Amino acid sequence: GAGVSQSPRYKVAKRGQDVALRCDPISGHVSLFWYQQALGQGPEFLTYFQNEAQLDKSGLPSDRFFAERPEGSVSTLKIQRTQQEDSAVYLCASSWPLRTKSYEQYFGPGTRLTVT
């Protein structure tokens, strides 16, 4: 089947605008992760869902960042009042539950956000 998809692939926002980034995980994957990746750095954890439950949001950098997965499939990462330091690639990954045999996360291509 299809892999993880993310939209849009590129987003340019003026400082202060709100943005919404979408992630479509692989069908049947109950775990979903969001990451932020700055240039030259590794992916930094933002938040984690198991089905519709947000189990950890400790990586969200501020209360301007909000993520949801209301029906346990598609997830949206929303950033309110964007700032220049929010410019980064936002990656989504999905996987089977952690207690299953494979620990593989399947990543989407990412959304490159540029705040001007």
Partner 1 sequence: LAKTTQPISMDSYEGQEVNITCSHNNIATNDYITWYQQFPSQGPRFIIQGYKTKVTNEVASLFIPADRKSSTLSLPRVSLSDTAVYYCLVVPSATGGSYIPTFGRGTSLIVHP
What residues line the site for partner 1 (CB under 8 A)? 4, 33, 35, 40-45, 48, 55-56, 58-59, 91, 93, 98-99, 102-110
Residue 84 dihedral angles phi and psi, to the nearest 5°: -60, -35
Taking the least distance from each CB to partner 1, the nearer of 6 and 73 is 6
Instruction: Locate 56 and state its tokens.
Output: 């950890």
What is the smallest separation between the CB atom of 115 and partner 1, expressed in angstroms?
19
Taking the least distance from each CB to partner 1, the nearer of 14 and 99 is 99
Taking the least distance from each CB to partner 1, the nearer of 17 and 22 is 22
Taking the least distance from each CB to partner 1, the nearer of 35 and 65 is 35
What is the smallest separation between the CB atom of 64 and partner 1, expressed in angstroms?
20
What is the smallest separation between the CB atom of 16 and partner 1, expressed in angstroms?
27
What is the smallest separation between the CB atom of 58 and partner 1, expressed in angstroms?
7
**Is 18 within 8 Å of 82 (Cβ atoms)?**
yes
